[in-house]
Amino acid sequence: MTIGVDEFTERARAFLDASAAPAPDRAARWGEGSDDVGLFDNSADRADSPAVLAARSWQATKFAAGYGWITGPRDLGGSALPIEHDVAFSRLEDRYAIPDPTILSVGLHMVRPTVARWAQPGVRESVGRGLASADVVGCQLFSEPEAGSDLAAIRTTARRDGDGWVVDGQKIWTSHGHLSDVGLLLARSDPAAPRHRNLTMFLVDMSSPGVDARPIRQATGAEGYSEVFFDGVRVPDSHRLGPVGEGWQVAVSTLMNERLSIGSGRSNRTVDLALLMELVRRHGDGSALTRDLAARAYVAQRLSERFAASCAQEVLDGGSPGPRFSLGKVLLVESLNRTAELVDHVLSGRAVADTTEWGTYAWHLVGLEIPAYSVGGGSDEIQRTIVAERVLGLPKA
């Protein structure tokens, strides 16, 4: 018998009370502690960094207590509960000071459900449970230098060789690829087959000979992404996900999970709105322009949050992450752009040069990190096209 949401929430609250401290109100303690407002955890740059170890430890703690994969199948360590229980736990968890889970987001929200649905027995159990408990960190090996936003145009090849496959090619902008244990790899397996019927999905051991994951240093100084090279990498057929030539179907299911994760706000780290308004109060000039920019930033973030909540509710009501969810990413990026615009106006040079004043220069990260949101998960242009054609029914350009 499934436990009710109310009883589940009470048990979850007791677990969180015993395992984590309440999240502080940063606006109420201005000038204290770290003033980091980055959208990504830039300290998670090594597999043994404290940020990575803390995130993995917290996920393992949740998994052991039955909260690591609330909706997941029991044979993979999940609790097999309805999605409303998962949403209830996420909302409750937001109230506590927990490690930044960014390093695990791709593995938990994209790789894990794909493995659960498409992986072969043995691999499904070992990797699925490993991802859920954070014993295994996963990445998504889709984007390529010359494929742009056209995923079907990838050039990485997988050639059949005996009881396995040999992979050659390159992927790029792989989130935490150099920190991952496994990678979800889409490759061209039959150059003679029709488009969308020539792809196969694999689960690659990132420590395999021939895999070279090179961190990409960004303008922020962080190395959250990598380019990954494959030179004669052997992948056993037991690590193939889905039928040969049906990789596009597997990829679409992964992208649907990604759309759900972004559209419902589950994998987004947003700006602390109370802290942003406190910044305006302390450093703004009170002019009509400042008030207008502050209002625009406030409304944009609230709109993004409300849309994410409506997407989550749609799933709770039995819906699936359809094309409307693409609007969630568009609204999120719009919100971040309005925030950056406000910060630039209020702080001016103090967001460009470090004066050592608390809560000023730290905001420069927001502007530098927005492009990652704008491109990641499908570029803004792709998302707008999806909304135009598949939601509004507008003709193709």
Phi first, then psi: give them for residue 79, nearest 5 degrees. -100, -5
**Cβ pair 294, 284 in contact under 8 A:** yes
Cβ–Cβ under 8 Å, residues 141 and 178: no
Q: Is 258 noted as a catalytic residue in this protein?
A: yes
DSSP 130-191: HHHHTSS-EEEE---TTTTT-GGG---EEEEETTEEEEEEEEEEEETGGG-SEEEEEEE--T
Our CA angle for 62, 64, 68, nearest 5°, is 40
At 392, list the tokens. 């509004």
Neighbours of 253 (CB within 10 A): 18
69: helix, coil or strand? coil
Q: Which of 258, 278, 334, 357 is catalytic?
A: 258
Closest CA to 187 of 212, 216, 165: 165
Contacts of 347 (CB under 8 A, 6+ apart): 279, 283, 360, 363
Helix (H, G, I), strand (E, B) or coil at 101: coil
Cβ neighbours of 129 (radius 10 Å):
22
Instruction: DSSP for 198-222, please give it.
Output: SEEEEEEETTSTTEEEEEE--TTS-
Annotated catalytic residues are 258
